[in-house]
Structure 1
């Protein structure tokens, strides 16, 4: 899969009081390609994760479509995978499959610092208030 054949964007919105562009202070968002394979005995499995960096969607995505992307404010409040180079494979019933995983966890300052992201996490009370 590549940008000529497929594109993807998403917006995460808790409620109207928390604009989507501010959620990075509250949540860590991870987008990963997961390669899943059952062992021959069918009793265990292995999973390999490849994180796909997310960026604020830029002009030119979605084959340069502008009317709809401008209307939904794609470049202001949506996240896009930096690259589209993943492959879907199989299903949950297959011995091997590859799927996408969108994960969320509370913002932890030590993770932001380690990843060299210029983000200051909200305090624990603020984070918990948006997750309730």
Structure 2
């Protein structure tokens, strides 16, 4: 009675299963032959692939297409979820680098042109604000962005969603532009309220 009670507390016991001729699975001649054939097929495939590699029989194919942007109206949309862009201005003075808007007007813009039948055109533009690139830009890539110190020297548009279409020879086109000009207080008041242009002596 005591022995049964103690035995029932055994946590190291193992499951008892049925076996056939001291084996846990039932094996047959047909199953053995099928298994051998399967292994031979796999081995043959691997050997043939290795031979192709060593003999360099594997070729890489590629294709490309040329579009005439003068008549092609395909639009290509880009936003910060699948594309990124940054720019820098090489200036040894780090103070100027950190306050670039107070010295230079840098405009990152979406430009759109539409020609009419009477040889006139309509132009529209949208300017994106920019700031120092933060960690996580360029889809979180770290090795290359750390190498050229993205967060220290580069500027990124805060949010963007632009379209590329056509060329300057097409009836309508859409492109992005990065333009530089001397600091304008009017521009700063509109896009970067609170920032001030440096004095004329500093800008000259």
TM-score bracket, normalised by the shorter chain, equals 0.7 to 0.9
Q: Indicate how the Cα distance of structure 1 residues 38 and 5 shifts in structure 2: closer, same or farther if over 3 A, else same.
A: same
**Normalized against structure 1, the TM-score is what?**
0.83
- Computed over aligned residues only, the root mean square deviation of the Cα atoms, in angstroms, reads 1.9
What do the CA deviations read for 1:50-104 (whole angstroms, capped 9, x no partner)? 1112121111111101111112111122111112311100001110000111122
Contact residue 32 and residue 50 of structure 1 kept, 8 A = yes
Q: Which runs of 5+ in 2 are unaligned?
A: 1-77
Aligned to 2:89: 12
Aligned length, in residue pairs = 126
**Normalized against structure 2, the TM-score is what?**
0.56
Q: Which is strand-richer, 1 or 2?
A: 1
1:103 aligned onto 2:185: no
- For residue 38 of structure 1, the aligned residue among 92, 97, 115 is 115
- For residue 52 of structure 1, the aligned residue among 128, 145, 151 is 128
**TM superposition shift of 1:114:** 4.7
Q: Which runs of 5+ in 1 are unaligned?
A: none
Give the number of the structure whose alpha-carbon radius of gyration is greater: 2
1:62 aligned onto 2:138: yes
Q: Which is helix-richer, 1 or 2?
A: 2
Which consecutive segments of 4 or more residues in structure 1 shift more than 4 A?
none
Aligned to 2:13: none
**TM superposition shift of 1:17:** 4.1
Q: What SS does structure 2 have at the residue aligned with 1:47?
A: strand
Aligned to 1:81: 157
Higher relative CO (Cα under 8 Å, sequence separation at least 6) belongs to: 1
